[in-house]
Amino acid sequence: MELLGTIVGLRVQTASLKVGEHGRLYNPSALRAVAALTIDDGGVTGWTAEGARVDDVHHRDHPATKYCGENGISLGFTAHYATMRAHFGEHLVDGIGGENILVSGSRMIALGDLGHGLLIAREGAPVLRLHALVVAEPCLPFSRYALGCADDARSEHPIKAALTFLREGRRGYYASYLGAPAIIRMGDEILLP
């Protein structure tokens, strides 16, 4: 097993981050940091430090779900954010992409690294396995946001270059989980099996 890092951020999206006419704009205001997540086979549910439930719009059972079969749980890595910041600028702070689980670490994680899934080691609890990891392909609104473009940006060249740069996992990954509902918290370890 290889330790990739620890969980340094947990978030839910209370609504879509793609807003405006036809969802052309990216607005991260619906992101909520939480103290813990329950993961189950439908996605994640957040919990505040006070114990209040915060539903994620990508959970399969959300009344306005954005679930599409593979996006119930999303992960990002701080090393990827460092690369994005170096390319696009300081406005791409860790977690701004909306992943549920942000993992510390110093190396880039490629899809080929994830063929056997990921493990979440929790203190005093059984290890959890995330599987069926796929690339979270970048969308046009996030690419425009990364570039600092307004909605009416006319040039396609920078957008295409941004989409290309953000591909292949740099933007993050989606994962599936098949076990019993379980709680994960900040500081839990993420490992390659």
Q: Is the pTM of this model over 0.85?
A: yes
Task: Give per-10-residue mean pLDDT for the chain (193 aa).
Answer: 96 93 88 97 97 96 87 96 96 96 95 95 96 94 88 68 94 95 98 96
Confidence at residue 28, expressed as pLDDT on a 0 to 100 scale: 95
Domains in the chain, CATH or no CATH each = 2-192 (2.40.33.20)
Q: Look up residue 48 and give its two tokens.
A: 């505040």
Confidence at residue 154, expressed as pLDDT on a 0 to 100 scale: 54
Confidence at residue 72, expressed as pLDDT on a 0 to 100 scale: 93
**CA 40 – CA 128 distance, rounded (Å):** 11
Please, what sign has the CA dihedral across residues 164, 108, 123, 132?
positive
**CA 65 – CA 12 distance, rounded (Å):** 13
Confidence at residue 151, expressed as pLDDT on a 0 to 100 scale: 56
**CA 88 – CA 128 distance, rounded (Å):** 34
